[in-house]
Amino acid sequence: MDHGSSCSGKRLLHVDIHIDERETWRGILDLLSRVRPRWKAQDIQMKAKPTITS
């Protein structure tokens, strides 16, 4: 995770992350824990689970 800065003086968050399509929920929780660290994983709900078609 890298905290850069923009021209406007606001800090930008850079997150290197890989989300495995077989474990999307784990990847989403990892991303959210970095973007919104105060959010509790047990309180996060998804409206619909994505379906993968091949």
Domain residues of the chain, as ranges?
2-43
Please tell me which residue, 9 or 22, carries the higher pLDDT value: 22
Which residue stretches of 1-54 are H helix? 24-35
The answer to whether the CB of 16 falls within 8 A of the CB of 1 is: yes
Rg (CA), the chain: 14
| Per-residue pLDDT reduced to its tens digit, 11-45 | 888 888 888 888 888 888 899 998 899 999 889 88
pTM: 0.57
Exposed e or buried b per residue across 29-43, where buried means at least 16 C-beta atoms within 10 angstroms of its C-beta: ebeeeeeeeeeeeee
Q: Which amino acid is at 3?
A: H
